[in-house]
Structures are given as structure tokens and as C-alpha cells.
């Protein structure tokens, strides 16, 4: 069974600074997708960024980028130029790419990010 | 399209009562997922529909839980004889077919058992 581990329950960053959130995962599959989701307090979960395992190039979405290390099974999220609106719970998630799998997301426990003005 | 909507946002009930939640997915999405999220944890998969067919159920979904998606549109999740341990946020997500398609989440229904 696949597992996702986020070892940082809480992180803090100064506004305009850069922060990196860690995620490791365990799987025997070779093809899969990895995601970072953001869940602001009392608001819905939204997709921040995703990475296809077969792609070597790290995904980037504006101020958000990932460091995907497939051999190490590591998938960290870097947030540059942090803004107050970035404060939220961040979840790392895994999804199988196997044909016929139900495609549910497997989530880590999350990292609570605080942004200091 | 307004995204995935869930109703109610909050539900407070006494132990032993039955509750039903509703999820309206994004209209063109044929996949619908239910997750449960307890305090301090990430969401955990409960069940999954492709159109009206319920294709997978997690071992977390005990006999007291039932989900339906008539006509492949909205879905309902019912919990019978609620227990304290059922207190959680119940999240619904929808997507197009294909594991490469992103899941879009609703705001969730927060269930509190007295």
C-alpha cells in the first residue's frame, strides 16, 4: 500500500521569504502522480501544483515549485515570495496512474504554514 | 459552473441518529469521491463513483455508511446510528475520468456528534 509522510506538522515563514515543505512517499509503482493541495481555514481544498512521475522536469506554478526526487521518493514544495494569503494547511498527496485503479488520492497528515507580516 | 457544492456545511446530531449529506459535483465530471477528514489528519478515501456506479469502497466505510449517486449526478452519503467516532469533516470531490485529471473539492460537511 502507498503511504505519504509529511514530517513537519507546522512551519512558519516571514512574508516575502521562501519556505520549503517536505513530503516523502512510499510506493512500488513506477507511474503515479503527486500533488500539493492547500486548505485555508474553513475553506475548500484547492490544487496548488501537480507532478507526473514520468516527467523529470520539476513542475512550477508561479511562486510555487516542487523538487521531485523519484529515486529518493521525495516531493517537496517551495513557496517563494510568501504572502499572507499562503497561510493554510498544505497536504501532499499521491495518486496511482495504474489503469483500472480507482484514482483516489492518498494524503499526508499535512503541514500548517503560518506567514508572519 | 460554481464548482463542487456540499450541503449542509455543518451538522450537529445526537449519537444514534441518522444523517445524510449531499454533494453536487461539477456538472461534466463523471467521477465523484467521498473522503473523511478528522482533526489533525489528511483526508482519507471512503468511496468512489464513476457515473452512477459505485466502484470502490474503503474498509473505513462500515455497514452503517451508504452512498448513492442516482443518475450519475449528485451523490448522498448516509450514516446510520451515528457514533462519536463519526465526528469529522466529510469531503466530496469530483473529476473527469482519468487518473491524470485533478480532483476538485467541495467545502465539506462538518459532522459533530453530541
Are A75 and A92 in contact by the 8 Å Cβ rule? The answer is yes
pLDDT digits (tens, 9 = 90+) for B67-83: 999 988 999 999 999 99
Distance from C-alpha of A93 to C-alpha of A5, rounded to nearest angstrom: 9
Q: How confident is the model at residue A7 (pLDDT cuts 50, 70, 90)?
A: very high
**CA closest to B4 among chain A residues:** A44
> What's residue A58's pLDDT?
95
Q: What percent of chain B is modeled with pLDDT above 90? A: 81
For B105, the closest of A44, A95, A102 (CB atoms) is A44
Interface of B with A in 24-53 (CB under 8 A): 31, 33, 35, 40-45, 48
Which of A1-5, A27-31, A32-36, A95-99 has the lowest average pLDDT? A95-99
Asked whether the predicted pLDDT for residue B59 surpasses 90, the reply is no
Asked whether the predicted pLDDT for residue A102 surpasses 80, the reply is no
> What's residue B1's pLDDT?
54
Taking an 8 Å cut-off on Cβ atoms, the answer to whether A104 and B33 are in contact is: yes
With beta carbons under 8 A apart, name residues in chain B contacting A106: 45
Asked whether the predicted pLDDT for residue A101 surpasses 90, the reply is no
Taking an 8 Å cut-off on Cβ atoms, the answer to whether A33 and B100 are in contact is: yes
Which of A20-34, B17-31, B89-103 has the lowest average pLDDT? B89-103
For B102, the closest of A50, A102, A108 (CB atoms) is A50
Are A109 and A8 in contact by the 8 Å Cβ rule? The answer is no
CA A107 from centre of chain? 9
When comparing pLDDT for A108 and B59, which is higher?
A108
When comparing pLDDT for A103 and B89, which is higher?
B89
Query: CA of A77 to nearest chain B CA: how many angstroms apart?
Result: 17
Q: DSSP readout, chain A?
A: --EEE---SEEEEETTS-EEE--EEE-S-SSEEEEEEEE-TTS--EEEEEEETT--SPPEETTEEEEEETTTTEEEEEE-S--GGG-EEEEEEEEE--TT-----EE---EEEEEE-
> What's residue B62's pLDDT?
87
Amino acid at each position: 500500500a502507498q503511504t505519504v509522510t509529511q514530517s513537519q506538522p507546522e512551519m512558519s515563514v516571514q512574508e516575502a521569504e521562501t519556505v520549503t515543505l517536505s513530503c516523502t512517499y512510499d510506493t512500488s509503482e513506477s507511474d503515479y502522480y503527486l500533488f500539493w493541495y492547500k486548505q485555508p481555514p474553513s475553506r475548500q481544498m484547492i490544487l496548488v501544483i501537480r507532478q507526473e512521475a514520468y516527467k523529470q522536469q520539476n513542475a512550477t506554478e508561479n511562486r510555487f515549485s516542487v523538487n521531485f526526487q523519484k529515486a529518493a521518493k521525495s516531493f517537496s514544495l517551495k513557496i517563494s515570495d510568501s504572502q499572507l494569503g499562503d497561510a493554510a494547511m498544505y497536504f501532499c498527496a499521491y495518486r496511482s496512474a495504474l489503469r483500472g485503479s480507482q484514482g483516489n488520492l492518498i494524503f499526508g497528515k499535512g503541514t500548517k504554514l503560518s506567514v508572519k507580516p | 459552473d460554481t464548482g463542487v457544492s456540499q450541503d449542509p456545511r455543518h451538522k450537529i446530531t445526537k449519537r444514534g441518529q441518522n444523517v445524510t449529506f449531499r454533494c453536487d459535483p461539477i456538472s461534466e465530471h463523471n467521477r465523484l469521491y467521498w473522503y473523511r477528514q478528522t482533526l489533525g489528519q489528511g483526508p482519507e478515501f471512503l468511496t468512489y463513483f464513476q457515473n452512477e456506479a459505485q466502484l470502490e469502497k474503503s474498509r473505513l466505510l462500515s455497514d452503517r455508511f451508504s452512498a448513492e449517486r442516482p443518475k450519475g449526478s449528485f451523490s448522498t452519503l448516509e450514516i446510520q446510528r451515528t457514533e462519536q467516532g463519526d465526528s469529522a469533516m466529510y469531503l466530496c470531490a469530483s473529476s473527469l475520468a482519468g487518473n491524470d485529471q485533478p480532483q476538485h473539492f467541495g467545502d465539506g460537511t462538518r459532522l459533530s456528534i453530541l
